[in-house]
Amino acid sequence: MKIWDAVVVGAGPAGCACAYDLASAGKSVLLLDKSDFPRPKACAGGLTMKTVRALRFSIEPVIQQKVDRILLESRDSSRIPVGRRRSICVMTVRAELDAFCLTKTIEAGAVFQRIRRIDSIAHDEEKVVVTAADGVLHARFLVGADGANSQVRTMCSEGGTSEAGWFRKGLAIEANLRRDAHKDDLVFDFSPVMSGYGWIFPKRDHVNIGLYCIDAEEVLNRSRLSTYITQQFGDDVKTEDFAGQYVGFGAAKHSAKNDRIFLVGDAGGFVDPLTGEGIYGAVMSGQAAASAICAQLNHRATARETFISRTKDLRENLQIAERIATSFYADPQRGFRVMKNPLLRYAVLKNYADGLQLTGLLRTTRRLSLHRSSAS
Ligand SMILES: Cc1cc2nc3c(=O)[nH]c(=O)nc-3n(C[C@H](O)[C@H](O)[C@H](O)COP(=O)(O)OP(=O)(O)OC[C@H]3O[C@@H](n4cnc5c(N)ncnc54)[C@H](O)[C@@H]3O)c2cc1C
């Protein structure tokens, strides 16, 4: 009977980041997905520079466009351009990016297998047993990287409830428009959604346009997106690939109690609620799980403790992002007024592009408001 060091469920950015590091460290890793690759994935495919740097290999071959300027639009139609000399983010098409990352992960030594369904997951202090429609798999560790609707999360939820209490969903829907997008701006538009934004992401021969909401209960559907597309580009444009998907929040509130099973990426709630950015959290948490598993297999520390310490900064940042998101989306116009301050604008851009300890950003905000109140 083969016992894998780790079975990773889901071969998106989180699963690949985890399996890549495990395989590179010489561990035996089986990476499972319900789809063959390339496969479509609802996602605007924007990778901030912090994400590009976190990846273990260059993704240059799948970069469509580099972006050094973003246009922020408010409900009263005012616009704030934010930019810098260096790139802020890069544009990819997710089907291409994910297939590329999977190839790199297989080259590093991970074994990929398509599965139809997981029937059950059992674990004890030594190992995990995954019963899939395609056979029974044994592993020392299991990583759930199977997205916002994670089966691993629901099957392993503490107390046997059907859903983990700390987990919360947002929603995003998108479509593609064929056009020469070389000169189009990357836009975050805070007018079309109450607790979220609309986006326009330029990708060489098309733009990806969509709506994001931190509250999965707000109705985002095809007709609402079509109305937004018409407002932006007129009604004679050809739109294709409408798709929507949940994104996962809540990692900051999750105490990761299991010693053998870790949840990463959307499955573990690692999406930033303020921006909807999930690929960074997916890559970072996937790598943290790999490092945790290696620590225990190499008898250095327990996997659970290592996972908690390796995700500490990320979870703290997500907690602060959650607070900022709640306050920002309650009154985006006030948020816009604050963004007129160049120092704060710089800090927000720097955090989005390169990653910044948000505790630092909060201190800056407090200093600025103290400064304003003493000046008035
Ligand atoms: C419309 C939209 C636009 C977005 N735009 C951006 C963006 O521009 N930038 C950004 O950073 N984030 C964006 N996000 C968020 C981002 O897509 C996710 O956070 C990111 O994909 C999470 O990666 P992941 O590996 O955790 O999960 P996923 O990418 O969802 O991958 C999960 C994988 O698990 C597989 N799987 C699922 N269930 C099972 C199962 N039972 N068994 C086996 N395999 C399974 C799936 O086939 C999939 O391959 C967007 C999200 C949406 C919905």
DSSP string, 86-113: S-SEEE--HHHHHHHHHHHHHHHTPEEE
How many angstroms separate the alpha carbon of residue 41 from the centre of ligand 1?
7
**What pLDDT shows up at residue 236?**
86
Mutate to test the pocket of ligand 1, among 89, 142, 279, 311 (most ligand atoms within 8 A of CB): 279
Residue 255 counted as domain residue: yes
364 burial (CB, 10 Å; 0-12 / 13-18 / 19+) is middle
Three-state DSSP class for residue 302: coil
Which candidate, 287, 280, 284, 267, places its Cα nearest to that of 352? 280
By alpha-carbon position, which residue is closest to atom 31 of ligand 1? 12
Atom of ligand 1 nearest to the CA of 118: 41
Query: Looking at ligand 1, which residue's alpha carbon is closest to its atom 15?
Result: 278
From residue 104, give the alpha-carbon distance in Å to each of 38, 97, 115: 13, 11, 20
Is residue 52 in some structural domain?
yes
pLDDT in tens, the chain (376 residues): 899 999 999 999 999 999 999 999 999 999 999 999 999 999 999 999 999 999 999 999 999 999 999 999 998 888 999 999 999 999 999 999 999 999 999 999 999 999 999 999 999 999 999 999 989 999 999 999 999 999 999 999 765 455 668 999 999 999 999 998 888 899 999 999 989 999 999 999 999 999 999 988 888 999 999 999 999 999 888 899 999 999 999 999 998 889 999 999 999 999 999 999 999 999 999 999 999 999 999 999 999 999 999 999 999 999 999 999 998 998 888 888 888 888 888 888 999 999 976 666 666 666 655 555 555 4
Q: Are residues 34 and 111 in the same domain?
A: yes
Ligand 1 within 6 A of CB of 210 = yes
Same domain, 184 and 297: no
Which pLDDT score is estimated for 336? Answer: 82
Give distance in angstroms: CA of 193 to centre of ligand 1: 22
Which strand (E) or helix (H) includes residue 51? Answer: helix 49-54
Contact 18 CB / ligand 1 (< 6 Å): no
Query: Is 149 in the same domain as 295?
Result: yes
Quote the ligand 1 centre to 267 CA distance (angstroms): 9
- Give the whole-angstrom CA distance, residue 33 versus residue 28: 17
The answer to whether 269 and 254 are in contact (CB under 8 A) is: yes
Taking the centre of ligand 1 as the mean of its atom positions, its distance from the CA of residue 177, in whole angstroms, is 21
Please provide the size of the chain in residues: 376
Ligand 1 within 6 A of 108 CB? Answer: no
CATH code, domain carrying 128 = 3.50.50.60
- Grouping H, G, I as helix, E, B as strand and the rest as coil, residue 368 is helix
Query: Exposed e or buried b for every residue in 329-359, given b needs 16+ CB within 10 A?
Result: beebeebbeebebeebbebbbbbbbebbebe
Token reading at 237: 């444009």
The CATH number covering residue 200 comes to: 3.30.9.10
110 lies in the same domain as 185: no
**Structural domain harbouring 269:** 3-61+93-168+248-330
How much distance in Å is there from the Cα of 353 to the middle of ligand 1?
A: 20
User: Would residue 14 count as lying in a domain?
Assistant: yes
Q: How far is residue 192's CA from residue 366's CA, in Å, rounded to a whole number?
A: 30
Is-contact 211 220, C-beta < 8 A?
Answer: yes
Tell me the pLDDT tens digit for each residue of 51-107: 999 999 999 999 999 999 999 999 888 899 999 999 999 999 999 999 999 999 999
Identity (one letter) of the amino acid at 361?
L
Give the Å distance between the CA of 340 and the centre of ligand 1.
33
CA 295 to centroid of ligand 1, rounded, Å = 27
Same structural domain for residues 29 and 107?
yes
Alpha-carbon span 71 to 69, nearest angstrom: 7
- Where does a domain end: 205, 231, 246? 246
> Cβ-count burial of 270 within 10 angstroms (0-12 exposed, 13-18 middle, 19+ buried)?
buried
Tell me: do 128 and 221 sit in the same domain.
no
Site of tokens 């190992």: 127
Q: Are residues 282 and 303 in the same domain?
A: yes
Helix axes 303-310, 312-330, angle to 10 degrees: 40
Helix (H, G, I), strand (E, B) or coil at 203: strand
- Give residue 86's pLDDT: 95
Closest-CA residue, ligand 1 atom 26, reads: 265
Residue indicated by tokens 């250095």: 300
Domain annotation covers residue 189: yes
**In the prediction, which pLDDT does 302 show?**
96
Atom 38 in ligand 1: residue holding the nearest Cα: 146
